[in-house]
């Protein structure tokens, strides 16, 4: 329950930030080009708003209805009634700022624009100079691209901030002497625990290699038993198989004692810090995977252990506890394998942020080809899938990495040419700029409604998949 709440909190915080940044992109360009923005909302406010700020009236409304009847009304500044000059131009005071109660997004309502609000009354009136529809096509295009631009900029800023604050650290695959453990789906196609991936589709897996390079490959070469090179052919749907199991491979860690707990079986048996367990009984234990399994199978029974100590071999006898424990603390991978560190100064972090943003976008776009397969369609998820991307315990580095990735996703998804998305508006604006003919407002209204219906259907499908996986799988 606690894990679910932590993930849900991270999801809400992340979505709030992404929505505000996205809609601010539209707002910023609209204001630059002198367009009037009627409403700027975080989340949707069907029937009522949690919070509403009306600058013209100097009022802050709490739990207010559409006609501004509120549970609490606060005076937060001086009223600024619109005068004759205000009727001829746009001002930030023309905007109502608020927070809705449906956490599915947000919106920036720009006067004279056909959007999800479908404000027919204002569109039927004579166009004002501060309206969206009165502006040149290139200005309207930039307004519609504003959200996408800001989401990509946000991702770059986050990646740059991560590089500056945390830097980069990684362990090269070839330096993991004990190899890797593989999920059952990977073992089914030929991987074995202890293998070290060397090449994917003929490309050497160097320092910058990622798991996506391996799981999307047609064949992978691995080092086996420290000397043998084996080629493994991967099926086309391999990426879905490992995704279903929540991963692909994990580092194998030798069992090297870092600390001991007084009074526990290990201390009584004479185990010392720095000892490396090599076998339990007659079973070799090159990594914690085998070691933990053998401890559990010998729980409560006197067992012989072999350890390496100061270049020699020592045999000890201990009795694991009923839950298969010896009372030892183990060295972490970063304490065993060589770690490559990279630090970035303020100015060096900026190009690094751009590079990470571009590469993440490229990898994400490349992975979209799987959506058009049966397994890919089944893997589409909604808010549940997004929430599962966050760590189960609050970790700022993981949180910001996830937010940056989601910002990239949001940027790309919004340029898909579907009416009701930014990409739909962009498509029609490009058509107008090329043909010098503006689509009729009636056509745009129908296209907007069709797009909203499609998006609603996709939303139901994605979250339905989440529900199915939760209840059935």
Round the CA-based radius of gyration of the chain to a whole number and report it. 29
pLDDT at 91: 83
- Distance, in Å, from the CA atom of 150 to the CA atom of 227, rounded to the nearest integer, reads 50
Mean pLDDT score of the chain: 85
CATH number at 173-252? 2.30.42
pLDDT tens digits along 7-66: 888 888 898 999 999 999 999 999 999 999 999 999 888 888 999 999 988 889 999 988
Q: CA-CA-CA-CA torsion for 60, 65, 66, 72, nearest 10 degrees?
A: -20
Check: CB of residue 382 under 8 Å from CB of residue 462. yes
Do 173-252 and 255-335 fold alike per CATH? Answer: yes
pLDDT at 374: 65
pLDDT tens digits along 374-396: 666 666 777 777 777 788 788 89
For 337, residues 6+ apart whose C-beta sits below 8 A from its C-beta are 171, 175, 176, 177, 251
**What would the mean pLDDT of 222-233 be, rounded to a whole number?**
90
pLDDT tens digits along 93-129: 889 999 998 887 888 999 888 765 545 556 666 778 8
pLDDT at 446: 81
- Confidence class for position 146, pLDDT limits 50, 70, 90: very high
- Confidence class for position 147, pLDDT limits 50, 70, 90: very high
Instruction: List the one residue out of 464, 466, 455, 461 whose CA is nearest residue 386.
Output: 466
- Distance, in Å, from the CA atom of 143 to the CA atom of 429, rounded to the nearest integer, reads 11
Domain boundaries, the chain: 2-140+413-471, 173-252, 255-335
pLDDT at 113: 82
- Rounded to whole angstroms, what are the CA distances from 1 to 7, 154, 236, 392? 10, 31, 37, 11
pLDDT of 87 above 70: no
Q: Helices then strands (H, E): number in the chain?
A: 15, 20
Question: Of 377 and 146, which is predicted with more confidence?
Answer: 146
pLDDT tens digits along 170-201: 888 888 888 999 988 899 999 999 999 998 98
Task: Return the beta strands (E) in 88-131 as ranges.
Answer: 96-99, 102-110
For residue 51, report the phi and psi dihedrals to the nearest 5 degrees: -145, 140
Instruction: List the one residue out of 369, 402, 384 whose CA is nearest residue 459.
Output: 384
Question: Of 463 and 32, which is predicted with more confidence?
Answer: 32
CATH number at 255-335? 2.30.42.10
Check: CB of residue 173 under 8 Å from CB of residue 197. yes
Q: Give the sign of the dihedral formed by CA 253, CA 256, CA 258, CA 259.
A: positive
pLDDT tens digits along 270-303: 999 999 999 998 899 989 988 999 999 998 999 9
**What would the mean pLDDT of 397-417 be, rounded to a whole number?**
91
Instruction: List the one residue out of 147, 41, 30 whose CA is nearest residue 97.
Output: 41
**What would the mean pLDDT of 328-354 be, rounded to a whole number?**
90
What percent of the chain shows pLDDT beyond 70? Answer: 91
pLDDT at 123: 60
pLDDT at 131: 87
pLDDT at 357: 92
**What would the mean pLDDT of 348-353 be, rounded to a whole number?**
94
């Amino acid at each position: 329950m606690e894990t679910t709440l932590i993930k849900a909190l991270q999801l809400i915080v992340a979505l709030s930030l992404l929505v505000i940044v996205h809609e601010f992109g539209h707002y910023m360009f609209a204001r630059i080009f002198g367009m009037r923005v009627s409403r700027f909302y975080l989340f949707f406010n069907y029937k009522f708003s949690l919070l509403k700020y009306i600058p013209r009236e100097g009022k802050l409304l709490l739990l207010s209805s559409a006609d501004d009847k509120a549970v609490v009304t606060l005076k937060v500044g001086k009223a600024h009634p619109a005068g004759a000059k205000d009727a001829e131009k746009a001002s930030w005071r023309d905007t109502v700022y608020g927070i809705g109660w449906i956490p599915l997004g947000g919106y920036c309502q720009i006067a004279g624009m056909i959007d999800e609000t479908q404000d027919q009354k204002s569109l039927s009136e004579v166009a004002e100079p501060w309206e969206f529809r009165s502006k040149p096509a290139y200005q309207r295009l930039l307004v519609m691209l504003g959200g996408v631009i800001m989401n990509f900029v946000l991702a770059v800023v986050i990646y740059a901030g991560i590089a500056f604050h945390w830097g980069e650290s990684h362990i090269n695959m070839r330096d993991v002497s004990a190899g890797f453990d593989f999920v059952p789906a990977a073992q089914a196609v030929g991987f074995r625990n202890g293998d070290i991936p060397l090449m994917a589709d003929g490309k050497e897996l160097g320092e910058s290699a990622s798991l996506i390079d391996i799981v999307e490959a047609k064949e992978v070469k691995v080092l086996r038993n420290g000397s043998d090179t084996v080629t493994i052919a991967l099926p086309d749907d391999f990426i879905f198989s490992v995704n279903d199991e929540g991963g692909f491979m994990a580092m194998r860690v030798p069992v090297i004692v870092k600390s001991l707990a007084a009074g526990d079986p290990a201390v009584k048996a004479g185990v010392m810090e720095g000892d490396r367990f090599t076998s339990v009984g007659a079973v070799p234990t090159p990594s914690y995977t085998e070691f933990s399994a053998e401890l559990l199978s010998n729980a409560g029974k006197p067992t012989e252990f072999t350890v390496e100590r100061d270049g020699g071999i020592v045999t000890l006898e201990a009795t694991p506890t009923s839950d298969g424990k010896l009372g030892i603390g183990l060295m972490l991978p970063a304490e065993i394998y060589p770690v490559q560190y990279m630090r970035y100064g303020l100015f060096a972090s900026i190009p690094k942020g751009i590079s990470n943003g571009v590469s993440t976008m490229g990898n994400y776009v490349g992975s979209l080809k799987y959506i058009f397969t049966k397994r890919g369609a089944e893997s589409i998820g909604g808010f549940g899938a997004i929430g599962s991307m966050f760590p189960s315990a609050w970790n700022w580095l993981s949180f910001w990495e996830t937010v940056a990735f989601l910002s990239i996703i949001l940027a790309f998804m919004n340029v898909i040419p579907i009416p009701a998305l930014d990409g739909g508006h962009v498509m029609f604006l490009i058509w107008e700029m090329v043909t010098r003919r503006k689509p009729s407002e009636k056509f745009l209204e129908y296209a907007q409604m069709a797009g909203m219906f499609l998006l609603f259907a996709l939303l139901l499908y994605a979250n339905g998949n989440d529900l199915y996986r939760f209840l059935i799988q």
